A and B are shown apart, each in its own frame.
Chain A
Amino acid sequence: MTLTGSTRVHLSGLSKTFHDPRDGRARPVLRDFALDLAAGELVAVVGASGTGKSTLLHVVAGLVPPDAGEVSTVGADGGPPRLGMVFQQPRLLDWCTARQNVVLALEAAGLPGGGADEVLAAVGLADHADAFPTTLSGGQRQRVAVARAFAIEPDLLLLDEPFSALDEITARRLRLLLQELWMARPRAGLLVTHNPLEAALLADRVVVLAGSPARVAAEYRVDRSRPRSPEDPLLFDLHTRIVADLA
């Protein structure tokens, strides 16, 4: 199927089953899942651990083939979308400097490598461009990963629990950073997280997954203009409702 209009991602009838390597038992993680994602929209998929959120993202990224269903993604020019992805771990090349890590992604995307410094400055790492990742803190490394994802001006931004491995203070700061980067250049974005507040803060739409195999328990539209504050009572209210859906 060809995508029409501003739709960037179209998923329908998506199913995926994993087989337990020990007893060989089938463990369905996704069944008949559907989702549409428009350009400029950031959708958060929230669920407890093991509900197939990460699998969903890996299917969209083309890293895992689905057992059944349709996955269509399209870039702004009608071709395959340029992907920017932030993983749970930074996944940097430890033997390349922060700048080189960004430059490699830029060059692979056919963009001039000169833009790396601007993006690193945007994430507050201008002074650490020449540092090797092993000498950076966990939060700094994840910021390099965020810079890499935004630097290539992706058609589709995939965020896989991007801040869950960080301490709460650092995670909070990086969420606000992400919001600022997003406001500067909105794209189509898919965020999976187990953190309801993170979803409410960042997303335009929140899809709550529950059960095994996962089904959509609830869906919310977050009508709050950006920039949003983590202290916003409306967002906290939404967070409470998501928690109730998950339970």
Chain B
Amino acid sequence: MSAEAPLRAPVADVADGPRPEAPPRRRGRTGRVLPALAFLVLLVAAWQVMAVLVDSLLVPGVGAVAAELVEVVADGSFVGELGATVLRVALGFALAAVVALPVGIAMGRSDLLRRFAEPAVLLGLTVPGLVWALLCVIWFGVGLANPVVAVALSSAPPLVLTTLQGVRSVDPDLLEMAHVYRFSRRVQLRRLWLPALAPALFAGARLGLSLGWKVVVLVEVFGMSSGVGYQLNNEFGSQNVAGVLAWTLLFAVVMAVLEYGVLQGLERRTGRWRKEVSV
């Protein structure tokens, strides 16, 4: 502001006062971890009860699975196997995002494009992951392209769909405001489009990644000689149910790290502005 007459208007806060404070959000780390932990303990206990009741080689007890888990981890090769799978998913998901984001945004902005590309998205959502896996094994053989393309094909459609919905939910009133105040394109993208799209992008990332995990295991079963899927197939071949469960658990740990460590952290950062709701 330049040095003109000073702006000052005494305004008392009475009816127009601040909202009552939201209840404190953090009840400490333990408070947040406890419910999830309780579920896990309950799951393990229920499994053990089932194993005892069924009393079959096909349903190994918690002890047998734990022993298998220790064996796999102690071996040390699991890092390479998990790493290979994670890398394939990461590359495939990145490829999907690079294609899906512009396509989704374009579809959200143009009715013609949306009508044109909608069948492709619906078709992509309908094709089972197993079919993508089989086709990619046939087309791309044992190279890295095989799992990457399969993951991309299965995770791109939900990403396009959520991006499209996000774009269409951006408030046109805010776009008008940005136009009147002459926000630059860069500012509009960073301050308006990205924050408005963030919830949709997170939903898309979750959905896309979960489909990616499923298809990469199939690809590894059929056409790869490394990775979690390959190991699962090995354990299956030797009828080692505890081994199958141990590898599945390891896989779940990686998923949990990604969800709690990366996705939820990012989401909290971008969602700081959201009002806490106490009911």
**Given A61-B180, A181-B7, also A151-B1 (CB < 8 A):** yes
CB distance from A4 to the nearest CB of B (A): 26
A39 at the interface (CB under 8 A from B): no
Residues of A within 8 A of B192 (CB): 93
Q: Which of A87, A95, A107 contacts B270 (CB 8 A)?
A: A95
Q: What's the interface size class on A, roughly?
A: 35 or more
Is B179 close to A, CB under 8 A? yes
| Contacting residues, chain B, for A137 (C-beta < 8 A) | 16-19
Q: Mark B1-27, 1 if CB is under 8 A from A, else 0.
A: 110111111111111111100100000
User: Which residue of chain A has the shortest Cβ distance to B183 in the bound complex?
Assistant: A108
Q: Is the CB of A139 within 8 A of B15?
A: yes
B109 CB-CB contact with A under 8 Å? no
Residues of B within 8 A of A153 (CB): 1-2
A15 within 8 A of B: no
Interface string of B178-191 (1 = CB under 8 A from A): 01111110010001
- Asked if A202 is an interface residue, CB under 8 A from chain B, the answer is no
Q: How far is the CA of A107 from the CA of B188 in the complex (A)?
A: 12
User: Could you say which residues of chain B place their CB within 8 Å of the CB of A91?
Assistant: 173-174, 176-177
Whether A105 pairs with B7 at a CB distance below 8 angstroms is no
A89 and B1 contacting across the interface, CB-CB below 8 Å: no
Question: What residue in chain B is nearest A118 (Cβ atoms)?
Answer: B1
Q: Contact: B183 with A104, CB < 8 Å?
A: yes
- Do B11 and A135 touch across chains, with their CB atoms under 8 A apart? no
User: In the complex the two chains form, is B4's CB within 8 Å of A167's CB?
Assistant: no
Question: Cβ of A184 and Cβ of B5 under 8 Å apart?
Answer: yes
A170 to B2, CA, bound (A): 29
Residues of A within 8 A of B12 (CB): 124, 173
User: Are the CB atoms of A119 and B13 closer together than 8 Å?
Assistant: no
On whether A124 and B11 interact (CB within 8 A), knowing A87-B173, A115-B1, the answer reads: yes
Interface status of B195 (Cβ within 8 A of chain A): yes
- A118→B7 CA distance, assembly (Å): 8
- Point out which of B4, B184, B191, B270 has the most chain A C-beta atoms below 10 A from its C-beta: B191
- Write out, one digit per residue, whether chain B residues 136-161 have a CB within 8 A of any chain A CB (1) or not (0): 00000000000000000000000000
B16 pairs with A173, CB closer than 8 A: yes
Nearest Cβ on chain B to A194's Cβ, whole angstroms: 19
Inter-chain contacts of A104 with B (CB < 8 A): 181, 183, 187, 191
Q: Is B181's CB under 8 angstroms from A109's CB? A: yes
Shortest CB-to-CB span from B12 to chain A, Å, is: 8
**A122 CA to B6 CA, complexed, in Å:** 9
Confirm or deny: B274 has a beta carbon within 8 angstroms of a beta carbon on chain A: yes
* A135 and B9 within 8 A (CB): no
Nearest-CB residue, chain A, relative to B4: A185
Is B115 at the interface (CB under 8 A from chain A)?
no
Of B7, B10, B14, B191, the contact of A119 (CB 8 Å cutoff): B7
> Most chain-A CB neighbours within 10 Å: which of B15, B16, B192, B272?
B16
* Chain B nearest Cβ from A39, distance in angstroms: 15
A191 interface residue per 8 A CB criterion = no
- Asked whether, in the complex, the Cβ of B18 is within 8 Å of the Cβ of A184, the reply is no
B174 touches A119 (CB 8 A): no
> Which residues 114-131 of A have a CB within 8 angstroms of B?
115, 118-119, 121-124, 128, 131
Q: Chain B, 157-178, contact with A by CB distance < 8 Å: what is the 0/1 string?
A: 0000000000000000110110
Pick 26 A–B contacts, CB within 8 A, sort by A. Answer: A62-B179, A62-B180, A63-B179, A83-B180, A87-B177, A91-B176, A94-B273, A96-B191, A108-B183, A109-B182, A115-B1, A132-B272, A132-B273, A134-B273, A135-B22, A137-B18, A139-B15, A139-B16, A140-B18, A153-B2, A169-B15, A169-B16, A177-B9, A181-B7, A184-B5, A184-B8
* Contacts from A to B (Cβ < 8 Å): 61-63, 83, 85, 87, 89, 91, 93-96, 104-105, 107-109, 115, 118-119, 121-124, 128, 131-137, 139-140, 143, 148, 150-153, 158, 167, 169-170, 173, 176-177, 180-181, 184-185
CB-CB nearest 5 A-B residue pairs: A124-B11, A122-B7, A139-B16, A115-B1, A180-B9
Given contacts A137-B18, A169-B15, A170-B16, 9 further A-B contacts (CB under 8 A): A95-B195, A95-B273, A104-B187, A104-B191, A109-B181, A124-B13, A135-B19, A135-B275, A173-B16
